[in-house]
Amino acid sequence: MCEYKFRNGDICQEEALQNSKYCILHIDLPEDKKSEEFKRINELKEEKVKEKISKGDFNFEGAKLLVVDFNGLSVKGDVNFINAVIAYVSFAEAKIGVCALFEGAEIDWVWFWGVKISGTVRFIGAKIGHVYFNYATIGGNARFEEAEIRGMVGFERAEIKKKLIFKNTKFRIPMAQEEACRKAKIICENLGNRADVDYYFYREMEARRKQKNPIIRFLELPVQYIFGYGVHPWRVIATWLLTVFSLAFVYWLGNGVEAADSLVEYIYFSVVTVATPGYGGYHPKPGIYQGLASFEAIFGTFMWAAFIATFARKYMR
């Protein structure tokens, strides 16, 4: 018997191949793609796939296949490719009655152009190359959490009734991240889910930054990490506080403020400078400390504006 263990703990019921622990579906394809052995094994796999389809059996969990061509096919229940390893999977114009399950699968090409899926699509934790869902209709969620997408994505004209989820999804190509997160953002906007709109907006902007030339990409880093593209007001506050205390410490170390003695007085000086009320009383010593204090004053005004902008965006719409 084949020793492949399914996710639910069951063991595969197929006959194992000679000199192997696995059945024809679960055995690895030979490494050398040009060899006779590869051809022979692949033909046997294709026969097995056809045999299963003719019986209406779409459980391909853990299967190792070269090509799965289900174009135009009509499936009553789920199609299960959980943990499968496949070079090319095509469901173009196919109809899937319930769910398309691809959790943990490794697939180089996912071609779902014009597919109709009544239930959810799950690529959670999958490792995939290119993904195309253009013109697809999906009745439930399309979930790609924790997945790794190495290639391009296409969701043009795709109609997803519930959510398109790319939480913690890794993209190798920034353009793919931009496209995926933009589509997910638009769907969340229509659902009125603001927290998720912010999440995808941030990731979309991050992807756009990564597509710019190296100098601008670098200069925009603080815009992403400190201002969080207006999505994270608490990051602005944290940066502000960190700067106020660090500068207070620098003034204190260099004894850079006249009339100030204790660290508390230095912190007071730093706060008064960053908030720019200019009470007097303490004066930075000429040279570097005046320069630092000027910087702090400008920084403070700028951060105040940034804080109001991000805070308003987050809480006042």
**What CA–CA distance (Å, rounded) separates 239 from 37?**
61
Residue 46 makes contact with Zn ion by CB under 5 A:
no
Query: ∠253-257-258 over CA atoms, to 5°?
Result: 130
* Alpha-carbon gap, residue 209 to 225, rounded angstroms: 12
> Minimal distance in Å, beta carbon 105 to Zn ion?
16
State the pairing for strand pair 148-149/121-122.
unpaired
Site residue total, Zn ion (CB under 5 A): 6
If the CB atoms of residues 15 and 258 are measured against Zn ion, the closer one turns out to be: 15
Nearer residue to Zn ion within complex by CB, 17 or 98: 17
How far is the C-alpha of 121 from the C-alpha of 132, rounded, in Å? 13
Question: Is 229 near Zn ion (CB under 5 A)?
Answer: no
Quote the CA–CA distance of 64 and 12 in Å, as a whole number: 14
Examine residue 24 and tell whether it contacts Zn ion (CB under 5 A): no
Give the integer Cα–Cα distance in Å for 160 and 153: 15
Q: Which residues on adjacent β-strands are paired with residue 11?
A: 5
CA distance 159 to 155: 9
26 scored as a contact of Zn ion (CB under 5 A):
yes
212 three-state secondary structure:
coil
Taking the complex as a whole, the smallest distance from the CB of residue 113 to Zn ion amounts, in Å, to 30
Cα distances (Å, whole numbers) of residue 61 to 4, 56, 138, 230:
10, 15, 22, 43
Q: Which stretch binds Zn ion (CB under 5 A): 26-34, 131-139, 249-257, 288-296?
A: 26-34
Residue 303 sits in the site that holds Zn ion (CB under 5 A): no
Measured CA angle at 237 (ends 232, 242), to 5 deg: 125
DSSP notation for 286-307:
TTHHHHHHHHHHHHHHHHHHHH
Give the interface segment with Zn ion, choosing from 22-30, 53-61, 93-101, 286-294 (CB under 5 A): 22-30
The answer to whether 101 contacts Zn ion (rule: CB under 5 A) is: no
The answer to whether 69 contacts Zn ion (rule: CB under 5 A) is no
- Which residues is 127 bridged to in the sheet? 106, 148
Q: Does 23 bind Zn ion (CB under 5 A)?
A: yes
Cβ distance to Zn ion smaller for residue 41 or 303:
41
Stretch in the footprint of Zn ion (CB under 5 A) among 2-10, 91-99, 230-238, 245-253: 2-10
Please, is 11 exposed, middle or buried when counting C-beta atoms within 10 Å of its C-beta (0-12, 13-18, 19+)? exposed
Q: How far is the CB of 24 from Zn ion (least distance, A)?
A: 8
Query: Which region, judged by CB under 5 A, interacts with Zn ion, from 12-20, 133-141, 153-161, 239-247?
Result: 12-20
- Interaction of residue 199 with Zn ion, rule CB under 5 A: no
14 in contact with Zn ion (CB under 5 A): yes
From 7-15, 104-112, 153-161, 308-316, span contacting Zn ion (CB under 5 A): 7-15
Smallest distance from Zn ion to CB 181, Å: 38
Q: Which is nearer to Zn ion, 26 or 163 (CB)?
A: 26
Q: How far is the CB of 62 from Zn ion (least distance, A)?
A: 7
Adjacent-strand bridge partners of 243: none
Residues that bind Zn ion (CB under 5 A): 2, 4, 12, 14, 23, 26
